[in-house]
């Protein structure tokens, strides 16, 4: 029976790590969306640069299980969007304004993917809790 307990704990730890990683991913995506239309603080300067979350895996030695974590958040090196707006305070000498390299459609797609992954991990936790409860009910009878 102790083996099942460690299996339950392992399942919960793996799913919990997935929840944390996806929640971090959603925070990064939210920041990208919030800054999608921002401009530079100074004329001709660079605006907000899209951030790309990464994941890393680690071994949880106490459970002997691989867990996931939000890894480094890297800047997206793709080009900024440029619009000719000579009256904008952020315009350079040629009248061009740089806007963030954030595509709202890509961010919303990534957000939906992160939400689905989060929900899948939540379902694993719920199913594991139900199995633990059923095991306890069987042991009680």
pLDDT at 1 over 50: no
pLDDT at 52 over 50: yes
**Which residues are paired to 83 by β-bridges?**
97
Domain that holds residue 13: 2-140
Q: Check residue 99 and give its pLDDT.
A: 97
Q: Which tens digits make up the pLDDT trace of 59-108?
A: 988 888 899 999 999 999 999 999 999 999 999 999 999 999 999 999 99
For 39, phi then psi, to 5°, come to -120, 175
Q: Check residue 138 and give its pLDDT.
A: 93
Q: Check residue 6 and give its pLDDT.
A: 78
Q: What is the count of structural domains for the chain?
A: 1
pLDDT at 4 over 80: no
- 3-state SS, the chain, equals CHHHHHHHHHHHHHHHHHHHHHHHHHHHHHHHHHCCCCCCCCCCCCCCCCEEEEEEEEEECCCCEEEEEEEEEEECCCCCEEEECCCCCCCCCCCEEEECCCCHHHHHHHHHHHHHHHHHHHHHHHHHHHHHHHHHHHHHC
Q: Check residue 9 and give its pLDDT.
A: 87
The rounded distance, in Å, linking the Cα atoms of 33 and 108 is 8
pLDDT at 5 over 70: no
The answer to whether residues 8 and 128 touch, using CB atoms and an 8 Å cutoff, is yes
């Amino acid at each position: 029976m102790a083996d099942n307990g460690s299996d339950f704990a392992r399942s919960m730890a793996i799913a919990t790590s997935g929840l944390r990683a996806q929640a971090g991913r959603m925070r990064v995506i939210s920041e990208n969306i919030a800054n999608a239309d921002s401009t530079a603080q100074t004329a001709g300067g660079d605006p907000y640069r899209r951030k790309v979350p990464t994941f890393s895996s680690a071994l949880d030695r106490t459970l002997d299980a691989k867990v996931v974590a939000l890894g480094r958040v890297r800047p997206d090196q793709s080009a900024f969007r440029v619009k000719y707006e000579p009256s904008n305070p952020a315009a350079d000498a040629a009248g061009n304004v740089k806007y963030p390299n954030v595509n709202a459609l890509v961010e919303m797609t990534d957000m939906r993917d992160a939400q689905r992954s989060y929900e899948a991990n939540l379902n694993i936790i719920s199913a594991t809790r139900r199995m633990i409860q059923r095991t306890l009910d069987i042991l009680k009878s």
